[in-house]
Amino acid sequence: MPMSLPRHVLLCCALLLAGCASTARPAPTLYEELGGQAGLEALVETLLSHVADDPRINQMFARVNIVMLNQHLNEKLCQVSDGPCDYQGKAMGPAHAHLPIGQGEFNALVEDLMWAMDQQKIPRTTQNRLIKRLAPMQGEIVNQ
């Protein structure tokens, strides 16, 4: 014959289970999936090193203040990925208006970014989430 538990024991168990459910950790942000600030800094460093070796676009970066570019890229990626940063640079249109950027150059930079994310062992799903958030900027950057 099965033994029944007193009501107060059942109520206590139900409250404990409800408490466990409410303390579940929320899903990580894209920023966290990218490795936080350290992950973004490594990604940007890898990206900029690769861009410097990419003959399709490296000439566009020849006169750029690389320290400032590094800072702005870190801020932008941090902001776009829901990190705790505020982007302090120019809007994308004005920042790129003086450069003849066509679809080919834009695609080359995206390819370089994907290569850098692969080098940093960022999972493809996380890469896709970041690219999806960056994609709307294409219209502001491509001007040829």
Q: Is residue 20 part of a domain?
A: no
Q: How many domains does the chain have?
A: 1
Whole-Å CA distances, 15 to 7, 9, 11, 22: 12, 10, 6, 11
State the Cα–Cα distance between residues 87 and 56, nearest whole angstrom: 27
Asked whether residue 5 is assigned to any structural domain, the reply reads no
Q: Which domain holds residue 137?
A: 29-141
pLDDT in tens, 1-47: 555 666 665 565 555 666 555 567 789 999 999 999 999 999 999 99
And the tokens for 136?
A: 């709307």
Asked whether residue 7 is assigned to any structural domain, the reply reads no
DSSP 9-66: HHHHHHHHHHHHHHTPPPPPPHHHHTTHHHHHHHHHHHHHHHHHT-TTTGGGGTTS-H
Residue whose pair of structure tokens reads 């080919």 in the numeric block: 104
**Residue 44 burial (CB count, 10 A):** 22
CATH of the domain at 80: 1.10.490.10
Tell whether 70 is covered by a domain.
Answer: yes
Question: For 84-102, how does the pLDDT look when each residue is reduced to its tens digit (9 = 90+)?
Answer: 999 999 999 999 998 899 9
Whole-model pTM: value is: 0.81
